[in-house]
Amino acid sequence: MVEMANLGKGERHMNRTLWTCGSVLAMSIVLIGMPGCSKKSVQSGGDSQSTQGAAKGGTDSSKSGVGNFPDTGVQSGGGGLRGLDKNPSEERLGSGTTQGKMDSSSSAGRQMEEIRAEQAASAAAGLRDVFFSYDSWVISEEGRQSLSHDAEWMKSNPNALIKVEGHCDERGTVAYNFVLGEKRAKAARNYLVELGVAANRLSVVSYGKERPSCNEHAESCYQQNRRGRILIKSGK
């Protein structure tokens, strides 16, 4: 498909001005038409959104861990359609499915193996997982017993770092299950801290419903997946 070349700065500014004009139009329902907007000169780089209203959490422009963003604004309309023509000339279509090589350079591929190694070590140490009710991150009586057992092991193995994985069953949304999984992992971690395990030995990670240990649509299976998995952490 036809890719537009990057527009120059001036044109981008113009787009932004038009956008602002659109918002003003939307607000004021007084539809006088476009000429009023086109008279406006190009605005400065500051945007109205970040300067108006109360910034509740404040801004932090020095936060590390932010990568680079390309310009992703919409640069063209019409989608390259040329309209019907009484004497149509030939349009040659390029393969829309060409692509660069797939990125498989990530070290993530080794993760499954390393997870299996962590699980084996944790099983050998006799660590017990904690299971949760539907929609819940409350630690049950049975869960407290499992965690008490785990805490004893942790106290007698003071050099071991511990990771709590939060998992969910397949019900509910992908997104909210990440939050639910984190709540479960943190509930388990907090209880271990209450039992006297040093907080700096404990980390949490949520997998939501993306790594189920069981794939059937049945409560017995869902129960297995609503889990706080207690693992001896290896590596970073």
Q: Which of 122, 146, 206, 225 binds other proteins (CB under 8 A)?
A: 206
Contact stretch for other proteins (CB under 8 A) within 51-59, 142-150, 189-197, 222-230: 51-59
CB of 168 to other proteins, least distance (A): 12
Binding other proteins by CB under 8 A: which of 43, 203, 223, 224? 203
Binding mask 164-183 for other proteins (x = CB under 8 A): ------xxxxxxx-xx--xx
* 200 contacts other proteins (rule: CB under 8 A): no
Q: Of residues 10, 41, 44, 92, which one binds other proteins by CB under 8 A?
A: 92
Both structure tokens of 154: 């942790």
How many residues does this entry show for the chain? Answer: 236
Which is closer to other proteins, CB of 163 or CB of 227? 163
Minimum gap (Å) between residue 86 Cβ and other proteins: 5
Which residue lies nearer to other proteins by CB, 46 or 158? 46
Q: Closer CB to other proteins, residue 13 or residue 149?
A: 13
User: Structure tokens of 60?
Assistant: 């932090």
- 205 is a site residue for other proteins (CB under 8 A): yes
CB atoms within 10 A of CB 227: 24
Q: Among all chains, which residue has been given the structure tokens 């006088």?
A: 32
What minimum distance in Å lies between the beta carbon of 146 and other proteins?
22
The answer to the question of residue 67 lying near other proteins (CB under 8 A) is yes
CA distances (Å), origin 80, targets 4, 8, 77, 114, 225: 10, 20, 8, 48, 48
Label residues 87-106 b or e (16+ Cβ within 10 Å = b). eeeeeeeeeeeeeeeeeeee
Closest Cα to residue 11, out of 81, 70, 71, 80? Answer: 71
Judged by CB under 8 A, does residue 149 bind other proteins?
A: no
Strands 202-206 and 227-232: unpaired
User: d(Cα 83, Cα 15) in Å, to the nearest integer?
Assistant: 24
Query: Is residue 22 within the footprint of other proteins (CB under 8 A)?
Result: yes
